[in-house]
């Protein structure tokens, strides 16, 4: 299954993240290397949140990521939540639509 991790962030997040960015990126790269994190990035115009796409059998990888993320532990993230995402179209869809639909 796919899981989306949403971050709500502090005002001026883009500027305030600088001291923690290197550690956050290393944390994200490690999750990607394990095959858990598929895509990640900040929302743009305005930069007022972040969305990360995880793949796995449960939301536990996304939840563990958030709990250990330097952006979360240093207070840049005001709220986070994980949502299961039923993907049905595309090469990496987890629940492809039946043929002919």
Indicate the pTM of the whole model: 0.93
- Give the tens place of pLDDT for each residue, 4-20: 999 999 999 999 999 99
User: pLDDT band at residue 100, thresholds of 50, 70 and 90?
Assistant: confident
What is the C-alpha radius of gyration for the chain, rounded to an integer number of angstroms? 15
Report the share of the chain in percent with pLDDT over 90.
91
- Between 95 and 40, whose confidence is greater? 40
> What's the pLDDT at 51?
98
CATH architecture of 2-84: 2-Layer Sandwich (3.30)
pLDDT for position 98? 87
Query: Quick one: pLDDT band at residue 46, thresholds 50, 70, 90?
Result: very high
Give CA separation, 66 vs 8, 91, 93, 94, 99, in Å.
Answer: 12, 27, 24, 23, 37
Every domain of the chain and the residues it spans: 2-84
């Amino acid at each position: 299954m796919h899981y989306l991790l949403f971050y709500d962030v502090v005002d001026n997040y883009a500027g305030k993240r600088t001291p923690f960015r290197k550690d956050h990126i290393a944390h994200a790269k490690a999750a990607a290397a394990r095959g858990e994190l598929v895509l990640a990035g900040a929302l743009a115009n305005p930069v007022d949140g972040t969305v990360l796409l995880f793949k796995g059998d449960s939301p536990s990888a996304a939840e563990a990521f958030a709990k250990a993320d330097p952006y979360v532990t240093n207070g840049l993230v005001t709220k986070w939540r994980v949502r299961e995402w039923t993907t049905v179209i595309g090469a990496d869809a987890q629940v492809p639509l039946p043929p002919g639909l």
